[in-house]
């Protein structure tokens, strides 16, 4: 039997395969830009100092920057000033001990909107094993985060209502009046006023009868689910201004 070296099916060594010189981490990660641009996860590549050297379309969509605006900037522009020190300390500590960082962080978009991100950062190494940069993979978990917070807030309100039922006769009467009133009672968080909006934490029976939604279906969601094509935009603007005040 022929050895692998003697196998006639093996490509001739005289036929050299094309190679691509890799000089920077961004060169390595963007050899297949079409594939990366189809990813739902944000991909941002930096040098060892945290200066952005490349990003995919998902990163641009999540953070609101174009690639031209991001490349050459410190990745810290994506973080609120008050979070930058803690973030750097957590990332560097994790990278030095495990070679990667995984966790939930708060970011800020180009428009100044706070968002929550599940982030994974790993070290990029060259062919000799030398660290040459970092690559971060991000998933926007803002809706889930705010929904979880609203559900927790709703649980707390329900606990307080339960305790109130065990309180004074007046408290029991007040709770009964709210739960059985023909008027709709809807309690939400105060913020955020802008998208995605505050989350619902309580709805009474009248709300269920009027809208067709059960309380369980709307807890954690924004009241914007009740808006439709005929919703009065002027009224919504007045409500928004009042909430901001």
Domain end: 140, 167, 187, which one?
140
pTM value > 0.75: no
26 and 122 part of one domain: yes
70 and 82 part of one domain: yes
122, with CB counted inside 10 A (0-12, 13-18, 19+), is middle
55, with CB counted inside 10 A (0-12, 13-18, 19+), is buried
pLDDT in tens, the chain (245 residues): 443 344 444 444 444 444 444 444 444 444 455 666 667 788 888 888 899 988 888 899 999 999 899 999 999 999 988 888 878 888 888 888 888 898 888 899 998 888 888 898 888 877 777 888 888 888 888 877 776 766 666 667 666 666 655 556 656 666 666 776 777 888 888 777 677 778 888 888 888 888 898 888 888 888 888 888 888 888 888 887 887 77
For residue 102, the domain's CATH number is: 3.30.450.20
Residue 112 lies in a domain: yes
118 and 158 part of one domain: no
Q: Which letter does DSSP use for residue 74 in this model?
A: B
Q: What is the DSSP string of 149-193?
A: HHHHHHHHHHHHHHHHHTS-HHHHHHHHHHHH-SS--EEE-S--S
Range of the domain at 196: 144-244
Residue 201 lies in a domain: yes
């Amino acid at each position: 039997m022929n050895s692998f070296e003697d196998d006639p099916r093996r490509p001739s060594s005289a036929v050299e395969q094309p190679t691509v010189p890799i000089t920077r981490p961004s060169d390595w990660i963007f050899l297949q830009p079409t594939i990366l641009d189809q990813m739902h996860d944000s991909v941002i590549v930096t040098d060892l100092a945290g200066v952005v050297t490349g990003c995919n379309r998902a990163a641009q969509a999540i953070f609101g920057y174009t690639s031209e605006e991001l490349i050459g900037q410190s990745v810290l522009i994506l973080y609120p000033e008050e979070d930058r020190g803690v973030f750097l300390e957590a990332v560097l500590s994790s990278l030095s001990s495990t070679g990667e960082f995984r966790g939930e962080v708060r970011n800020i978009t180009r428009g100044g909107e706070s968002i929550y991100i599940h982030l994974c950062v790993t070290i990029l190494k060259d062919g000799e094993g030398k660290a040459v940069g970092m690559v971060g993979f991000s998933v926007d978990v803002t809706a889930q985060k705010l929904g979880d917070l609203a559900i927790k807030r709703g649980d707390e309100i329900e606990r307080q209502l339960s305790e109130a039922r065990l309180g004074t006769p007046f408290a029991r009467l007040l709770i009964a009046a709210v739960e059985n009133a023909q008027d709709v009672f809807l309690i939400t968080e105060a913020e955020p006023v802008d998208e995605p909006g505050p989350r619902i934490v309580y709805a009474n029976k009248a709300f269920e009868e009027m809208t067709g939604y059960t309380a369980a279906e709307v807890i954690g969601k924004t009241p914007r689910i009740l808006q439709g094509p005929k919703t009065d935009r002027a009224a919504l603007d007045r409500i928004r201004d009042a909430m901001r005040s």
